Amino acid sequence: MNLRDRLFLILAGIFIASLVSCNLIFQKFFTWTPFDLYTFEISVGILPYPITFLVTDIISELYGKRKADQVVISGLIASVFVSLLVVVANAVPQTAWSPVGDETFSKVFGLNAPAVFASMIAYLSAQFIDIRLFHFWKKLTKGRHLWLRNNGSTIVSQLVDTGAVLLLLCAFGVIGWERFGGLLLNGFLFKVLVALFDTPLFYIAVWYLKPRIGDEISEAATMEKTADKAEASGGTDPGE
> Which pLDDT tens digit goes with each residue over 153-202?
888 888 888 888 888 878 878 778 998 888 888 888 888 888 888 889 99
pTM assigned to the model: 0.81
pLDDT mean over 90-107: 92
Task: Specify the higher pLDDT residue, 221 or 65.
Answer: 65
> Which pLDDT tens digit goes with each residue over 199-230?
899 999 988 888 888 654 545 555 555 555 55
B/e letters for 2-36, b = 16+ CB within 10 Å, e = fewer, are eebeebbeebbebbbebbbbbbbbbbeeeeeeeee
Alpha-carbon distance of 22 to 218, in angstroms, equals 34
Domain coordinates in residue numbering, the chain: 3-220
> Which pLDDT tens digit goes with each residue over 83-95?
889 889 999 999 9
> Which pLDDT tens digit goes with each residue over 10-39?
999 999 999 999 878 877 888 888 878 788
Judge contact between 170 and 93, C-beta under 8 A: no
Task: Write down the pLDDT at residue 74.
Answer: 95
For residue 78, is pLDDT > 90? yes
> Which pLDDT tens digit goes with each residue over 120-162?
888 888 889 999 999 898 888 888 888 888 888 888 888 888 8
Three-state secondary-structure class, residue 75? helix
Task: Write down the pLDDT at residue 10.
Answer: 95
Domain 3-220 has CATH 1.10.1760: yes
